[in-house]
Amino acid sequence: MKRFVLAVLIAFVGCGRASAQSIEAHPRDRAPLTFLQINDVYTTVPIDNVGGLARVATLKRQLAASGHRVVMVLAGDFLSPSVASSFFKGEQMVDTLNTAGLDIATLGNHEFDFGDDLLIERMKQSKFRYVISNVVDTHTGKPVGGAAPYLIETYGALKVGYIGLVLTTTEISKDKLTHTRLTDPFVAAARYVPLLKQRGAQVVVAVTHLTFEDDRRLAQRFPQIDLIIGGHEHFPITATENRTLISKAGSDAKWVARIDVERPAAGPLGRFYELIPITSAILDDPDTAAVADRYEQRLGKELDTVLVTSRVPLDASSQHIRSAETNLGDLFADAMRADAKSDVALMNSGSIRGDRVYPAGPLTGRTLLAMHPFGNVVCTVEVSGRVLLEALNSGVSKMPSAAGQFPQVSGLTFVVDTHAPVGSRVRDVTIGGRPLDAAKTYTVAIPDFVLKGGDAYSMFAGQKVIVGPQAGSLLVQALGRYVIAQGEVTQQTDGRITVR
């Protein structure tokens, strides 16, 4: 099928009267409806001064003040994961989105992170509407949380129909779905898209949290869909598949996709697209900023809450952790493996920070963030024993020098011969007490930094990804859950890595 990437107009949107005048100069002002799209938003505030829901709220209100009918849509993933969600379980996101003026949302895989009962509670707290066509509450037989399976809305003379679809893969843990059933998104689309057309929808919009390839398949199978407002990928994508426009606006509200639509009396649907960077050129909406700031202040206090007590000092000394097994390296790797339920875990020791021995005593959220301040995500891949051995050899290639690529591991043991040639230093690898089988497939938990080839771990490129960066847990969250479940930290090194 023919597909081409649209020309994207990048515009820095200012504030006040000058901004409204520049917006009005565009021919899209004839359009009766303007969508503002965000997706995969995990923080209410800017990151490195980019993004921020208070700025998005300003953008919506500027457009509305200049005469546009604006509908803000969120294509899933907002309740989790984040450090703030570890404490507030997504409450901070719902409250801020309520104030920012979100109109319509669908669910993403991370909306299920805290279980379906908590999800339903957050949905009840939402002032915006949910459209969810393929998630059913088995207690009621209806869409989860009282969501609409489809929506038909009239904007002036324009009648718009919406469906909402979320992925159903293993990225949503089945143990989170105590009374929720996920159904095939394509089956749901086959049910509701014709219904929207029968009920007079002139424009059909699918709000989705699917992979880009599934969005393309959706457009191919259901050409009646005019616009797919999608999520899941964390970078902007704008494409057409046949006649369907597919839009994904990145993550964390660093960009907003503005899509103006009109249905002429004759001829094809008119669509105007703009990807707008959300920068400090856009002032904060005061009401939205006040809600976000209130949670940020609470978060500061929550981070000082004691999560657990460590009975032992935890070694993050750079000279040690980047050249040998340490108990903190073991703790991180064990937390990753427990989170991923994988055969083994491997992480680059350079992502464990502090360059100190953390003393025995109380561990707070702030301490865990000091240990790992990067926001890495736990990913899971399937690799052969040969690839795993290659990764271990790469990790120890700079020994005896200390290096950030040195691997901290869980679920395996190995011996390093520092006198052997680079690439052949690792031997006697065991997994689950058995020798490594070069031909066998193993599941491996790794940080997304390693998955992307960081610290010379290029061998993971092209391997089968079971859980990717869009679906995994934040590493620091995985560590927090793990130590809380342990009750106290007593981690000792146990001979996983022997250096000779």
Q: How confident is the model at residue 83 (pLDDT cuts 50, 70, 90)?
A: confident
What's the pLDDT at 15? 31
**Mean per-residue pLDDT, 393-418:** 95
Report the range of poorest mean pLDDT among 76-80, 274-278, 350-354, 496-500. 350-354
Looking at the structure, tell me whether residues 84 and 189 fall in a common domain: yes
User: Pick from 234, 267, 299: which residue ends a domain?
Assistant: 299
How confident is the model over 277-299, as pLDDT tens digits?
999 999 999 999 999 999 999 99
Residue of 457, 366, 333 lying closest to 404 (CA atoms): 457
Looking at the structure, tell me whether residues 280 and 388 fall in a common domain: no
What's the pLDDT at 396? 97
User: Pick from 236, 266, 299: which residue ends a domain?
Assistant: 299
pLDDT tops 60 at residue 20 = no
Instruction: Report pTM.
Output: 0.80
What's the pLDDT at 175? 79
How confident is the model over 144-192, as pLDDT tens digits?
999 999 999 999 889 999 999 999 987 787 878 999 999 999 999 999 9
Looking at the structure, tell me whether residues 330 and 295 fall in a common domain: no
How confident is the model over 454-489, as pLDDT tens digits?
889 999 999 999 999 988 999 999 999 999 999 999
Residue of 97, 93, 151, 142 lying closest to 118 (CA atoms): 93
Write the DSSP assignment of 421-468 as a string of letters: PTTS-EEEEEETTEE--TTSEEEEEEEHHHHTTGGG-GGGTTSEEEE-
Write the DSSP assignment of 216-268 as a string of letters: HHHHHH-TT--EEEE-SSSSEEEEEETTEEEEEE-STTSEEEEEEEE--SSSS
How much of the chain, in percent, has pLDDT values that exceed 90? 83
Write the DSSP assignment of 359-393 as a string of letters: PSEEEEHHHHHHH--S--BEEEEEEEHHHHHHHHH
Looking at the structure, tell me whether residues 216 and 174 fall in a common domain: yes
Looking at the structure, tell me whether residues 279 and 311 fall in a common domain: no
**Mean per-residue pLDDT, 254-263:** 94
What's the pLDDT at 409? 98
User: Pick from 253, 268, 299: which residue ends a domain?
Assistant: 299
Mean per-residue pLDDT over the chain, rounded: 92
Looking at the structure, tell me whether residues 286 and 379 fall in a common domain: no
What is the CATH classification number for the domain harbouring 158?
3.60.21.10
What is the CATH classification number for the domain harbouring 313?
3.90.780.10
* Cβ-based neighbour number of residue 28 at 10 Å: 18
pLDDT tops 50 at residue 395 = yes
Sign of CA dihedral 23, 26, 32, 33: negative
Looking at the structure, tell me whether residues 491 and 438 fall in a common domain: yes
Euclidean distance between CA atoms 409 and 395, whole angstroms? 11
**Cβ within 8 Å of residue 455, ≥6 positions away:** 348, 350, 395, 403, 404, 405, 449
Q: How many domains does the chain have?
A: 2
Looking at the structure, tell me whether residues 81 and 117 fall in a common domain: yes
Looking at the structure, tell me whether residues 289 and 395 fall in a common domain: no
Residue that is written with structure tokens 């599934």 in the block: 214
Q: How confident is the model at residue 491 (pLDDT cuts 50, 70, 90)?
A: very high
Looking at the structure, tell me whether residues 377 and 491 fall in a common domain: yes
How confident is the model over 299-345, as pLDDT tens digits?
999 999 999 999 999 999 988 999 999 999 999 999 999 999 999 99
Residue of 413, 409, 415 lying closest to 342 (CA atoms): 409
User: Which letter does DSSP use for residue 145 in this model?
Assistant: G
Looking at the structure, tell me whether residues 43 and 130 fall in a common domain: yes
Find the helix or strand (DSSP H, E) in which 196 lies: helix 185-198
Euclidean distance between CA atoms 40 and 105, whole angstroms? 11
Q: How confident is the model at residue 27 (pLDDT cuts 50, 70, 90)?
A: low
Residue 358 belongs to domain spanning: 305-499
Looking at the structure, tell me whether residues 365 and 219 fall in a common domain: no
pLDDT tops 60 at residue 25 = no
